[in-house]
Structure 1
Amino acid sequence: MNLPPPISMQDAQSRLLALAQPLEAETVAIENAAGRFLASDIIARRTQPPADLSAMDGFAVGDNDPSGSWRVVGESAAGHPFEGTFGKGDAVRISTGALMPEGASAVLLQEDAQLDGNDLRVASDATASPRHIRHQGFDFTAGDALLRTGTRMDAARCALAIAGGQVTVDVGRKARLSVIDSGDELVADAATARDHQIPASNGAMLGIMASPFCESSHRIGPVPDRREKLVKSFDDASTADVIIISGGASVGDHDLVRPALEQWGAKLDFWRVAMKPGKPLLVARKGTKIILGLPGNPVSSYVTAFFFLLPLLRHLAGSYDPMPQSLALSLAADLPANGSRTEFIRGVMCPEGAQPLLQRDSSALRTLAAADCFIERGGNAPPARTGDPVTVYPLQNGGIA
């Protein structure tokens, strides 16, 4: 067979994301926005703090009063401001978060105060200070851009949006996903698998990986290695925005995904990527639907899903930075020279840096389950020694913060 040369990972990732535009936006309550990507900027509708507030419990006073003594004329509590008139030599008992009386410019801390009836004095060598005031707008002011389009919402960002006066936010719709397991050797019931059979684990694995970034995940299969069955499985998945098929995308006699996709009416965009594991990755399109053909070996399937499926789902949901995030660590063990493809080695992060795991077979799930990162090795990289810097992709949260 005259095979096309593998394309680079960077080219493959760019081509995949260029195939699809982010899905339409929808409006949700702030409480339901966690994990979603903003479809419009969040602009502050109010100022925070809206006025000068006390940062500590104590007494609001004028800091230009040299006497060090004041007369307490009232109280300002959180939610219940002082409503009297504040003059020179006056003090107001104040609690954390309470509104500073107009004319007060410093706070004497509770522990530094000596109170005799309504007469207030400094009880130590401390002084009243303006540093105990949260000044109006120190956090943000009305009109400030708080969060930009494409930001993934979390608890702190939801709190910021609420503080800025938002009740609802516009977020991108999550994609509907269908995951197809294919292969004559696969069985749905792991408890009944015989020696010549393998439990169909990829569909569950891929659905779990994708769940934070997709609206729904529909599993189909296992589907046998027959073209008409594969075409039928694509029909069954036709309501999805993204279709994943695991297995059957390589070059063997029973690898029928490509001809089945062509019969179904999909157009192949690219096939075979210069990466290890994961070389047989296939990407096609039918209308607005994106189809990813992932390798059947579970580690290869996981790696390609991590670097292609999850970024695609985040892109469709509106992320401004959908690619997995990397960091630089020191290598905790020697590695030999690499071949021509970019390789991702399962590893664990430890105090010494990134420790490669020894088992590299693409079917070894036990090693994958033990890993918390991928160690990247560039194509034709020379031998690496302990202590050398390496690029590492943490696996937690699908590779994003």
Structure 2
Amino acid sequence: MISPRTAKKIILGSAPRRAVTKVSLEAAFMRVSARDVRARVDGPEFDRATMDGFAIRSSDTAVIPAVLKCTQAIPAGHIPKKSLKKGECAKVATGAMLPGGADSVVMKEEAEFLLSGPVTLRRRIAPYENIAFRAQDLKKGGIVLRKGDILNAAKIGLLSSQGAKDVAVYRAPRVAILSTGDEIAEPGEKKKKGQVWNASASMLKFAVRRWRLAPDYLGIARDDPGQIFKKIRQGLKSDIFIITGAVSIGDLDLVPGALKRSGAAVGFHKVAIRPGKPLLFAVKRGCLIFGLPGNPVSSLVSFLLFVAPLINSMLGYRKGDLIEKGFLAKGVYNKSDRLSLFPGILKYKGGRIIVRPVKYSGSADLAAVSGADVLFMVDKHKDLSKGSAVEFFRISV
């Protein structure tokens, strides 16, 4: 049995080198950029108005009131017909290209004008009012996106403004999930006496979708060596293969044997953690295999502590870990000889994160965990008092 720290080190050390792929901007949201991207054009590409109004030569307002002749109207997206001469102005829309000779824009509200006829200005206008100049935000060849940046809505918008239709990101891992055991039935099915509905698979499928991945669910393999082996061979086509149940040392815990038969190399089996002790990790030709305990809370703990950091790492997120720190609202005693995790609810008080433990009966108590915000960690045989610092990770994966 190894420590959680050692287990995580083995897992992350087994991850393959990140592969790079191009995806459309439509599919790029919250992915991680794999390369620097440089500007194809200046931003903006031309001097433009930032207000609806009139483009003028500021020198024409040296004497007030100034009466100017409006010689053209320039909507956004259109090219000026001619440059301004002395005593002339042009009606412009927000975003419109400025005509030659113009060095300022007067807001529509500050001008006196009729539908046709002269435009009267009653204050001196300084140069460069209400103008966005070419390349003032971004120069051609400048960095638009850096390697490692997360593609949020603003960054995708910036790429779109540069005419990009796709972007290089780290390839998303293919994830497969397999449930095992005669004792489970799929939700919606009629279950036999003694069976329970399969909570772990549903929970893990949606946990994986946090990264906008679409896991391949392989269904339930019954307690039959041949059936489990067949399903495992199918799952080995993925990059990350998650198996729930049948990983301990009981007579029907058939997964370890089936993995060895398939040629997978077991990295470790059993971690000093509660819940989640039976966790198994193996590798077969680039497929990283997790054998998670069958109890739902044990599966969730194992996923959050060990699978989630791997997915983060493979997708290129700089922060592979999901662990945060807070302070206990009341004391907790861990009588176990293993690092233990307990559900808690978060509160914020005086700028501090407070973790309030909730009533919890063990690794099958999904009701308690579903009503909690976090799982917090307490070292073996540790008696923590109110106000003690604890590490936790959020359940809302």
TM-score, length of structure 1 as denominator length: 0.83
- Pairwise mapping of residues 322-361 of structure 1 onto structure 2 (< 5 A)? 323-327=320-324, 331=328, 333-338=329-334, 341-352=338-349, 353-360=353-360, 361=362
Q: Does the CA contact (< 8 Å) of 2:327 and 2:389 recur in 1? A: yes
- Aligned equivalents of 2:45, 2:381: Cα separation in 1: 59
Distance 1:366 1:271, change over 3 A: same
1:331-360 deviations in Å (ceiling 9; x for gaps): 5x2232556655443334445444435133
**What residue is the counterpart of 1:32 in the other structure?**
27
1:157-184 deviations in Å (ceiling 9; x for gaps): 3222111231222333333222121233
Task: State whether structure 2 residue 115 is matched by structure 1 residue 132.
Answer: no
Distance 1:127 1:234, change over 3 A: same
Of the structure 1 ranges 251-260 and 372-381, higher mean CA displacement relative to structure 2 is found in 372-381
**What residue is the counterpart of 2:374 in the other structure?**
373
1:309-348 deviations in Å (ceiling 9; x for gaps): 23323433x32426254555565x2232556655443334
- Aligned equivalents of 1:214, 1:81: Cα separation in 2: 45
- Aligned equivalents of 1:137, 1:326: Cα separation in 2: 42
Q: Does the CA contact (< 8 Å) of 1:214 and 1:313 recur in 2? A: no
**What residue is the counterpart of 2:219 in the other structure?**
220
SS of residue matched to 2:206: helix
- Aligned equivalents of 2:186, 2:119: Cα separation in 1: 81
- Aligned equivalents of 1:340, 1:136: Cα separation in 2: 66
**What residue is the counterpart of 1:258 in the other structure?**
256
**What residue is the counterpart of 2:119 in the other structure?**
119
**What residue is the counterpart of 2:384 in the other structure?**
383
1:222-262 deviations in Å (ceiling 9; x for gaps): 431x5444323212323222211112223445433323322
C-alpha displacement at 1:131, in angstroms? 5.2
Of the structure 1 ranges 136-145 and 335-344, higher mean CA displacement relative to structure 2 is found in 335-344
Of the structure 1 ranges 149-158 and 299-308, higher mean CA displacement relative to structure 2 is found in 149-158
- Aligned equivalents of 1:67, 1:275: Cα separation in 2: 82
Of the structure 1 ranges 342-351 and 54-63, higher mean CA displacement relative to structure 2 is found in 342-351
1:368-390 deviations in Å (ceiling 9; x for gaps): 3223334455667662535x665
Task: State whether structure 2 residue 238 is matched by structure 1 residue 237.
Answer: no
SS of residue matched to 2:332: coil
Matched residue type, 1:60? A
**What residue is the counterpart of 1:20 in the other structure?**
15
- Aligned equivalents of 2:150, 2:124: Cα separation in 1: 45
Matched residue type, 2:256? R
- Aligned equivalents of 1:227, 1:78: Cα separation in 2: 70
- Aligned equivalents of 1:327, 1:101: Cα separation in 2: 55
**What residue is the counterpart of 1:183 in the other structure?**
181
Matched residue type, 1:45? R
C-alpha displacement at 1:45, in angstroms? 1.2
Q: Does the CA contact (< 8 Å) of 2:181 and 2:220 recur in 1? A: no
- Aligned equivalents of 1:345, 1:249: Cα separation in 2: 23
The correspondence for 1:50, drawn from 45, 49, 56, is: 45
Q: Does the CA contact (< 8 Å) of 1:151 and 1:319 recur in 2? A: no
Task: State whether structure 2 residue 267 is matched by structure 1 residue 269.
Answer: yes
- Aligned equivalents of 2:348, 2:312: Cα separation in 1: 31
- Pairwise mapping of residues 293-312 of structure 1 onto structure 2 (< 5 A)? 293-312=291-310
**What residue is the counterpart of 2:36 in the other structure?**
41
- Aligned equivalents of 1:276, 1:100: Cα separation in 2: 68
Identity %: 27
Distance 1:75 1:342, change over 3 A: farther
- Aligned equivalents of 2:322, 2:296: Cα separation in 1: 22
- Aligned equivalents of 2:168, 2:339: Cα separation in 1: 38
Task: State whether structure 2 residue 323 is matched by structure 1 residue 319.
Answer: no
Distance 1:298 1:99, change over 3 A: same
- Aligned equivalents of 1:310, 1:172: Cα separation in 2: 16
C-alpha displacement at 1:55, in angstroms? 1.5
Matched residue type, 1:365? L
SS of residue matched to 2:218: strand
C-alpha displacement at 1:97, in angstroms? 0.9
- Pairwise mapping of residues 127-166 of structure 1 onto structure 2 (< 5 A)? 130=128, 132-166=130-164
- Aligned equivalents of 1:392, 1:138: Cα separation in 2: 45
**What residue is the counterpart of 2:170 in the other structure?**
172
Distance 1:62 1:327, change over 3 A: farther
Distance 1:334 1:178, change over 3 A: same
C-alpha displacement at 1:49, in angstroms? 1.0
Q: Does the CA contact (< 8 Å) of 1:250 and 1:280 recur in 2? A: yes
Q: Does the CA contact (< 8 Å) of 1:266 and 1:286 recur in 2? A: yes
SS of residue matched to 1:192: coil
- Aligned equivalents of 2:136, 2:392: Cα separation in 1: 38
- Aligned equivalents of 1:219, 1:47: Cα separation in 2: 50
TM-score, length of structure 2 as denominator length: 0.84
Task: State whether structure 2 residue 96 is matched by structure 1 residue 98.
Answer: yes
**What residue is the counterpart of 1:364 in the other structure?**
365
Matched residue type, 2:171? R
Distance 1:92 1:343, change over 3 A: farther
Length, aligned pairs only: 386
